[in-house]
Amino acid sequence: MTEETKLIANALYEIRLLLSPYIGGENEAPMALRFAAHLAYALQNEALASAAGAGFDLEAALNKIKAIDPVLGTEDGRRLADAWRTEPL
């Protein structure tokens, strides 16, 4: 693992902490803010595992992203997961 991976993982964790008030389906915040909170929450565990040298489970991360849709009533999670699965990053 690289120092860059550690920095990105820790930054994502901090973003998740900052956005934590916007988690949940019954939040009155703008949808973009709510989706960002759920996206950070979905990815932070995999990012931290990667930073610790345990690897990154891409399928698990993509499934967590897709799981945002039923909570928020969106289709953005599936759209992103499908795009990130097929497009080179």
- For residue 57, the surrounding DSSP H or E stretch is none
Q: In this structure, are residues 39 and 65 in contact, taking their beta carbons and an 8 Å threshold? A: yes
Neighbour-count burial of 22, counting CB atoms closer than 10 A to its CB (0-12 exposed, 13-18 middle, 19+ buried)? buried
Q: pTM (2 decimals)? A: 0.85
Q: What is the tens place of the pLDDT at every residue in 32-50? A: 999 999 999 999 888 888 8
The encoded tokens of residue 45 equal 């565990």
The encoded tokens of residue 28 equal 């009155």
Angle (nearest 5°) at CA 32 between 60 and 89: 45
For residues 55 and 65, give the distance between their C-alpha atoms in angstroms, rounded to a whole number: 18
Say whether pLDDT at 89 is over 60: no
Q: For the chain, which residues make up each domain, given as ranges? A: 3-86
Say whether pLDDT at 87 is over 80: no
Q: What is the tens place of the pLDDT at every residue in 64-80? A: 999 999 999 999 999 99
